[in-house]
């Protein structure tokens, strides 16, 4: 049992770590040569082109203005200053709503914390159960928790009442939030400019026909069944191999650039490389010649493959993007069944062109269901077998465990500082390392399942990651710590005594989770803002690859929000907060600090760093809502399990009502708000169509939509040399085809002062781009 002293030490360590990170960030971000690492979003949006400032050569790389270091935390008010509407315009609705998840945490837990400390802590602390029980070791923390209430006490009624209060408050905030986000989404969609995906439907599983090509078949089918609305279509070609080749060429060109730069710096010696594995073995050759010839060969191959894909009918997949004359027509087609056979002519909204995940566009129905089953089973095994190593590490990282296994370490471990360190730090780190590997695997699994858009891939991965976290981090920590032996008998046991076991173990695990929050939630978030990995990579690339300003642009790795990892992390804190709110209110302030810190940090990152990959208009909110609800239900069930061992049997029926009400509330919200996230009302479509017809009666919609959904590798067909120049071609393509809101800022001469203020406080830069 960790004492308050242990916690204090761990808190000190983590606060210091976090402060070091924040200080390092404060210093590094002010250096002009790091400008592209810490403010890439402004470069990507073309609101800034170079960190140029007055001054000598030195000040081009190092900020010598000492005054700016004094106010090292003033990125915080900057980050908070940009109003939400402007944030939506600047970074998209997805990012703005993502930030609201942190706000939601603050809104839910701030009042809960006050209530819990005002009511539950006094109720708990004024008992002496733990002091009386002689065979139990306990710490001061446990005195504040529910463990301190004697068996069968009437005081448990206070906990029940609080459980009800917390549930109602959480549901109330959730409902408010769902409503707000629904309105944001509807407003966002309503005020959106014309976009190809508003007119386009993706049709899959076009049945094979011996007489007609896929293209003809699609045209005929939609001309017959949507005669007044069908406009045009684009068949989907299997360009996966071509994309691989282009990717390969890009890699080769990187090497070529590297060697050319090396040679230009040291003209005395032509660089050499080895042709074998990773350049480590094989014949020595001249590197520049080698890569130049490689690139030439690849260019030929690419040209041939491109020709084949464009001409070979076999490369046409039984899927097509079908565009309609009106949004109404597209909305109708996307939301109805076309053919008698529900496995043919499957229609659904086309994702935004940026968001389409091309490799999955033609998976037949049966294969899809089989793949889903396979992934469900694999995920089950991944979740439950991954548990064993974690549990082993955790049992090692517990004082008694180490002493048992390695008695000779006893004197060292018993030293107070080291003991506190081991107990406060190690379990959290061990877990974290395991978890870093996971998102990639989960993403691959989602891809294998055949989702069609990046946003849906990320949503699926997020929900799997959450389940994994729940089973392995939450349950795994609780069960393995208190009863590692249980894991062995896991399968033999009736899988149903577990809730009670967990409920009992929860108060004992409070200290572990407090340290976990500090490591993962405090220091981790502070580390996020430092962007250590992109910082190093940028400077490496800058040294070895960058020749032109364009290359420097490419070397920037803005990154993006990463919904698939970030959201489950936040949800884990919701789970912890809700579970411990009634049991150990001491945990709540730690969680609140996390939410506040993370909100500021991510707001800063979203404004200055992350580059939005796609815009789903907050389509993920039903998932977020659902997971908070599930955390709520879990907390209620565990409280029930806990109380059922406290000889407070009378309370059980009252607790039983809670999950019922919560689930009903969820269903109510689902019916009330979810349609705004999955359907597209015809009234809305009709309104926009009518407006557009009045404003632009002679619009050439067909021309506008003609090439909207072309595989990215075909985008830059004409300038075959710029295969690798994705950034620019994307830019160009967006300018031509997808005039999203993001462009509009370019033409508005003066960004609002608040927005300007949220950029770093270097006056020269600010004034420079306000003059644009």
> Can you tell me the distance from the alpha carbon of 570 to that of 741, in angstroms, rounded to the nearest whole number?
29
Under the binding rule (CB under 8 A), the answer on residue 649 touching a copy of itself is yes
Dist CA 65 CA 27 (whole Å):
11
> How far apart are alpha carbons 604 and 651 in whole angstroms?
46
Helical H segments across 584-616, by residue range? 587-608
> Binders of a copy of itself among 157-186, rule CB under 8 A?
186
Which of 189, 202, 206 minimizes the C-alpha distance to 350?
202
C-beta closer to a copy of itself: residue 38 or 665: 665
- Asked whether position 451 contacts a copy of itself by CB under 8 A, the answer is no
Nearer to a copy of itself (CB atom), residue 8 or residue 675? 675
Answer yes or no whether residue 337 interacts with a copy of itself by CB under 8 A.
yes
Q: Closer to a copy of itself at the Cβ: 681 or 727?
A: 681
- Map residues 658-677 to x or -, x wherever contact with a copy of itself holds by CB under 8 A: --x---x--xx--xxxxxx-
**At residue 356, what are phi and psi to the nearest 5 degrees?**
-65, 135
Q: Which is nearer to a copy of itself, 433 or 660 (CB)?
A: 660
Q: Which of 492, 695, 698, 771 binds a copy of itself (CB under 8 A)?
A: 492
Stretch that binds a copy of itself, among 249-257, 259-267, 445-453, 486-494 (CB under 8 A): 486-494
Query: What number of chain residues touch a copy of itself (CB under 8 A)?
Result: 52
- Give the residue with the Cβ less far from a copy of itself, 337 or 748: 337
Q: Which of 488, 657, 637 is nearest to 575 (CA)?
A: 637
Q: By CB under 8 A, tell whether 496 contacts a copy of itself.
A: yes
Q: By rule CB under 8 A, what string of x and - marks binding of each residue 225-254 to a copy of itself?
A: xx-x--------------------------
* CB-neighbour burial class of residue 268 (10 A; exposed 0-12, middle 13-18, buried 19+): exposed
Q: Rounded to the nearest whole angstrom, what is the least distance from the CB of residue 594 to a copy of itself in the complex?
A: 34
Minimum distance, C-beta of residue 187 to a copy of itself, in the bound complex (Å)? 10
Q: Tell which one of 358, 365, 537, 769 touches a copy of itself (CB under 8 A).
A: 365
Measured from the CB atom, the residue of 75 and 221 that comes closer to a copy of itself is: 221
SS3 for 394?
Answer: helix
Q: Which of 137, 311, 494, 747 binds a copy of itself (CB under 8 A)?
A: 494
CB 755 within 8 A of CB 89: no
Which of 459, 507, 447, 499 is closest to 475 using CA atoms? 499
Q: Which is nearer to a copy of itself, 276 or 675 (CB)?
A: 675
Q: Which of 541, 420, 623 is nearest to 7 (CA)?
A: 420
> In the numeric block, which tokens belong to residue 370?
């089989």
Which C-beta is closer to a copy of itself: that of 423 or that of 651? Answer: 651
CA neighbor of 390 nearest in space, from 274, 512, 253, 568: 512
Nearer to a copy of itself, 191 or 267 (CB): 191
CB of 176 to a copy of itself, least distance (A): 16
Q: How far is the CB of 380 from a copy of itself (least distance, A)?
A: 8
Out of 136, 377, 691, 754, name the contact with a copy of itself by CB under 8 A. 377
Which residues inside 678-737 make contact with a copy of itself, applying CB under 8 A? 679-684, 686
161 vs 377, which CB is nearer to a copy of itself? Answer: 377
Show the DSSP H helices in 235-364 as ranges. Answer: 240-265, 287-311, 327-334
- Closer to a copy of itself by CB, 671 or 697: give it: 671
Q: Binding to a copy of itself by residue 480, rule CB under 8 A?
A: no
Q: What is the DSSP letter of 268?
A: T
In this chain, which of 207, 276, 342, 389 binds a copy of itself, going by CB under 8 A? Answer: 342
Question: Between residues 130 and 642, which has the closer beta carbon with respect to a copy of itself?
Answer: 642
Among 495, 695, 700, 718, binds a copy of itself (CB under 8 A): 495
DSSP letter string, 411-423: HHHHSHHHHHHHH
Q: CB of residue 236 vs a copy of itself: minimum separation in angstroms?
A: 21
Q: Give the long-range contacts of residues 263-272, CB within 8 A, separation 24 or more.
A: 263/288
Taking phi first (over 0 means left), then psi (-120 to 50 degrees means alpha), and beta for anything else, what does residue 87 get?
Answer: alpha
**Nearer Cβ to a copy of itself, position 61 or 490?**
490
Closest to a copy of itself by CB, 224 vs 281, is 224
Contact call for residues 145 and 642 (beta carbons, < 8 A): no
CA distance 258 to 91: 34
Taking 3-state DSSP, the helix, strand and coil percentages for the chain, each rounded to the nearest 5, stand at 70, 5, 25
The answer to whether residue 543 forms part of the interface with a copy of itself (CB under 8 A) is no
Q: What are the helix (H) ranges across 116-239?
A: 121-125, 129-132, 140-143, 156-191, 196-199, 214-225
Q: Could you tell me the smallest distance in angstroms from the CB atom of residue 328 to a copy of itself? A: 8
Distant-in-sequence, close-in-space partners of 489: CB < 8 Å, separation ≥ 6:
none
Closest contact distance (angstroms) between CB of 340 and a copy of itself is 5
Q: How far is the CB of 316 from a copy of itself (least distance, A)?
A: 22
Burial of 567 (0-12, 13-18, 19+ CB in 10 A): buried
CA angle 161, 164, 168 (to 5 degrees): 140
> In the set 376, 388, 433, 699, which binds a copy of itself (CB under 8 A)?
376
Minimal distance, residue 472 CB to a copy of itself, in Å: 20
Q: From residue 49 to residue 88, what is the string marking binding to a copy of itself with x (rule CB under 8 A)?
A: ----------------------------------------
Contact 555, 51 (CB under 8 A): no
Q: Does 224 interact with a copy of itself (rule: CB under 8 A)?
A: yes
Least distance to a copy of itself, CB of residue 165, Å: 20
Segment interacting with a copy of itself, rule: CB under 8 A, options 170-178, 340-348, 555-563, 620-628: 340-348
CB of 673 vs a copy of itself, minimal distance in Å? 8
The SS3 of residue 203 is strand
Q: Is 285 helix (H, G, I), strand (E, B) or coil?
A: strand
Least distance (Å) between residue 672 CB and a copy of itself: 6
Nearer to a copy of itself, 328 or 599 (CB): 328
Q: How far is the CB of 488 from a copy of itself (least distance, A)?
A: 13
The alpha carbon of residue 569 and the mean position of all alpha carbons in its chain are separated, in whole angstroms, by 9
Between 299 and 343, name the residue whose CB sits nearer to a copy of itself.
Answer: 343
Nearest to 534 by CA among 526, 542, 525: 542
User: What is the four-CA torsion angle of 15, 21, 24, 30, rounded to 10 degrees?
Assistant: -110
Cα 442 from Cα 382, distance rounded (Å):
10
H/E stretch holding 325? none
Distance CA 548, CA 545 (A): 9
121: tokens are 């802590």
User: Which residues of the shown chain bind a copy of itself in the complex (CB under 8 A)?
Assistant: 186, 221, 224-226, 228, 331-332, 335-340, 342-343, 345, 365, 369, 372-373, 376-377, 491-492, 494-497, 499-500, 644, 649, 652-653, 660, 664, 667-668, 671-676, 679-684, 686
């Amino acid at each position: 049992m960790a004492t308050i002293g242990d916690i204090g030490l761990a808190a000190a360590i983590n606060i210091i770590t976090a402060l070091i990170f924040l200080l390092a960030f404060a210093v590094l971000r002010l250096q002009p040569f790091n400008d592209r690492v810490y403010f890439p979003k402004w470069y990507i949006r073309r609101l800034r082109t170079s960190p140029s400032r007055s001054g000598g050569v030195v000040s081009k790389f190092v900020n010598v203005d000492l005054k700016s270091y004094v106010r090292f935390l003033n990125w915080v008010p900057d980050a908070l200053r940009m109003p939400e509407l402007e944030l939506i315009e600047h970074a998209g609705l997805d990012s703005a709503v993502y930030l609201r998840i942190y706000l939601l945490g603050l809104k839910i837990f701030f009042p809960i914390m006050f209530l819990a400390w005002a009511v539950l802590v006094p109720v708990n602390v004024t008992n002496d159960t733990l002091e009386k029980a002689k065979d139990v070791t306990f710490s001061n923390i446990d005195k504040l928790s529910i463990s301190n209430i004697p068996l069968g006490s009437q005081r448990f009624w206070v906990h029940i009442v609080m459980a009800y209060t917390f549930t109602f408050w959480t549901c109330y905030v959730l409902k408010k939030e769902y409503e707000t986000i629904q309105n944001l989404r509807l407003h966002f969609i309503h005020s959106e400019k014309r976009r190809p995906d508003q007119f386009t439907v993706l049709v899959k599983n076009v049945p094979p026909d011996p007489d007609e090509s896929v293209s003809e078949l699609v045209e005929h089918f939609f001309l017959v069944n949507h005669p007044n609305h069908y406009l045009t279509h684009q068949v989907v070609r299997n360009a996966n191999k071509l994309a691989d080749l282009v990717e390969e060429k890009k890699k080769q060109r990187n090497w070529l650039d590297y060697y050319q730069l090396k040679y230009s710096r040291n003209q005395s010696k032509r660089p050499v490389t080895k042709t074998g594995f990773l350049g480590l073995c094989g014949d020595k050759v001249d590197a520049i010649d080698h890569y130049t010839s490689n690139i030439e060969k690849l260019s030929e191959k690419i040209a041939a493959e491109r020709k084949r894909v464009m001409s070979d009918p076999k490369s046409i997949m039984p899927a097509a993007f079908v565009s309609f004359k009106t949004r109404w027509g597209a909305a109708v087609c996307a939301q109805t069944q076309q053919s008698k056979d529900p496995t043919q002519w499957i229609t659904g909204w086309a994702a935004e062109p940026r968001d389409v995940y091309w490799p999955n566009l033609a998976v037949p129905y049966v294969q899809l269901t089989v793949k889903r089953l396979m992934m469900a089973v694999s995920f089950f095994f991944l979740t439950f077998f991954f548990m064993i190593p974690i549990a082993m590490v955790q049992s090692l990282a517990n004082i008694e465990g180490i002493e048992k296994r390695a008695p000779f370490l006893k004197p060292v471990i018993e030293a107070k500082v080291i003991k506190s360190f081991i107990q406060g730090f190690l379990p959290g780190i061990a877990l974290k390392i395991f978890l870093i590997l996971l998102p990639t695997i989960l993403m691959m699994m989602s891809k294998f399942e055949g989702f069609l858009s990046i946003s849906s891939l990320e949503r699926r991965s997020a929900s799997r990651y959450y389940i994994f976290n729940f089973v392995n981090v939450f349950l795994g920590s609780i069960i393995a710590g208190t009863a590692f032996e249980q894991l062995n008998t896991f399968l033999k046991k009736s899988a149903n005594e577990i809730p009670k076991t967990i409920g009992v173990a929860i108060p004992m695990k409070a200290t572990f989770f407090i340290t976990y929050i500090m490591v993962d939630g405090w220091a981790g978030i502070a580390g996020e803002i430092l962007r250590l990995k992109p910082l190093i990579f940028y400077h490496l690339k800058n040294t070895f690859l960058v020749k032109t300003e364009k290359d420097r642009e490419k070397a920037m790795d803005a990154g993006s929000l990463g919904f698939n990892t970030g959201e489950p992390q936040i949800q884990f804190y919701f789970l912890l907060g809700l579970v411990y709110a009634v049991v150990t209110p001491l945990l709540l302030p730690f969680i609140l600090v996390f939410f506040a810190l993370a909100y500021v940090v991510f707001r800063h990152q979203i404004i200055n760093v992350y580059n939005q990959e796609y815009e789903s208009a907050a389509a993920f909110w039903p998932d977020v809502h659902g997971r908070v609800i599930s955390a709520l239900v879990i907390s209620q069930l565990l409280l029930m399990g806990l109380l059922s061992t406290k000889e407070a049997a009378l309370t059980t029926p009252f607790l039983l009502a809670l999950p019922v009400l919560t689930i009903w509330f969820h269903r109510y919200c689902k019916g009330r708000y979810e349609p705004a996230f999955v359907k597209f009302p015809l009234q809305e479509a009709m309104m926009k169509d009518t407006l557009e017809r009045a404003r632009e009666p002679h619009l050439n919609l067909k021309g506008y939509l003609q090439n909207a959904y072309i595989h990215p590798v075909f985008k830059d067909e004409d300038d075959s040399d710029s295969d690798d120049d994705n950034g620019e071609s994307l830019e160009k393509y967006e300018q031509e085809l997808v005039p999203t809101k993001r462009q509009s800022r370019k033409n508005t001469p003066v960004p609002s002062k608040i927005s300007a203020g949220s950029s770093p406080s270097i006056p020269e830069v600010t004034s420079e781009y306000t003059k644009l």
